[in-house]
């Protein structure tokens, strides 16, 4: 005789495939927490893109040291 989860399931539950111990968040999760997580991820991605563009723009122009050489050439 076996004990545990498998022994407590009925034949019908095993045939239908009813799962016990499955988190409720997986079965019928509300939409808002998922949407919030997606929006947070999208914001993080947008922030990284903005930083990459800013570094690329700053790198394409001269630096502050290049600006100072203009004054030293007088």
| The overall pTM is greater than 0.75 | no
d(CA 52, CA 71): 31
Burial of 45 (0-12, 13-18, 19+ CB in 10 A): exposed
Say which residues have a Cβ less than 8 Å from residue 1's Cβ, sequence separation at least 6.
Answer: 7
Domain ranges of the chain: 5-72
The residue ranges of DSSP E strands in the chain, in sequence order, are: none
Query: Does the structure show a pLDDT above 60 at 35?
Result: yes
pLDDT of 41: 97
pLDDT of 28: 59
The number of residues making up the chain comes to 74
């Amino acid at each position: 005789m076996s004990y545990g989860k498998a022994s407590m399931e009925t034949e019908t539950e095993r045939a239908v495939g009813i799962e016990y111990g499955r988190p409720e968040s997986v079965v019928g999760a509300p939409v808002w927490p998922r949407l919030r997580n997606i929006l947070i991820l999208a914001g993080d991605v947008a922030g990284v893109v903005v930083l990459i563009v800013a570094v690329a723009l700053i790198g394409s122009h001269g630096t502050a040291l290049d600006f100072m050489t203009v004054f030293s050439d007088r």
